Amino acid sequence: MPIPASCALDELGWLAAGHRVVSPNHDARPAGCAIELIVIHNISLPPGMFDGNAVTELFTNQLDWDAHPYYQGIRGIKVSAHFFIRRDGSLIQFVPCTQRAWHAGVSSWQGCERCNDFSIGIELEGTDELPFTDAQYATLIPLVRQLKQTYPIRDVVGHSDIAPGRKTDPGPCFDWPRLHEQTA
């Protein structure tokens, strides 16, 4: 289920491949702000549980806060990402790349605050403690290549790189050499 290597983005930043589920949790980027950064995250809801719809429900403000005790700690948050790659490699896009998704929170990269303004957020279904799947890399790598061809991307970083001490994802199991070697 990986995306085709030549799959293009339209003028609004929607990928032609993958499934689209529109999140209300986004807004306009600041005028004249270039998309220069890709931020890799991991997420699973509840933590360590895969294959459910909770992440999609969270990103679309439809999560049943009473469905699991963990959700009480995140009750009412409004977050999103541009892309979500499931364990099987399937891709969901929630926000067009030209818009600002709410994925980074308080963050800084090379002295620039508010990374959401100039970044694209990619969530991988997973945790810090488990390796990501080959299917996820088979989707992530062509996606990163396409984003680099479309936008003036200067770097690909983890959430932990732009919010150190606050965030740890994508975690030590993420294969940075594999990503960098295949997207250079």
* Residue positions annotated with a catalytic role: 123
Q: What is the full DSSP assignment across 61-93? A: T---TTSSGGGGGGTT-----SEEE-TTS-EEE
Q: Please tell me whether residue 178 adopts helix, strand or coil conformation.
A: helix
Which strands, in side-by-side order, build the sheet including 83-85? 19-20, 91-93, 83-85, 119-125, 37-43, 155-158
Kindly tell me the sign of the dihedral angle through the C-alpha atoms of 142, 105, 152, 171.
negative
First to last CA, the chain: 23
Residues composing the chain: 184
Q: Distance (Å, rounded) from C-alpha 1 to C-alpha 95?
A: 20
Give the amino acid at 11: E
From CA 45, how far away is CA 56, in angstroms rounded?
Answer: 10
Beta bridge partners of 57: none
Structural tokens at position 131? 């390796």
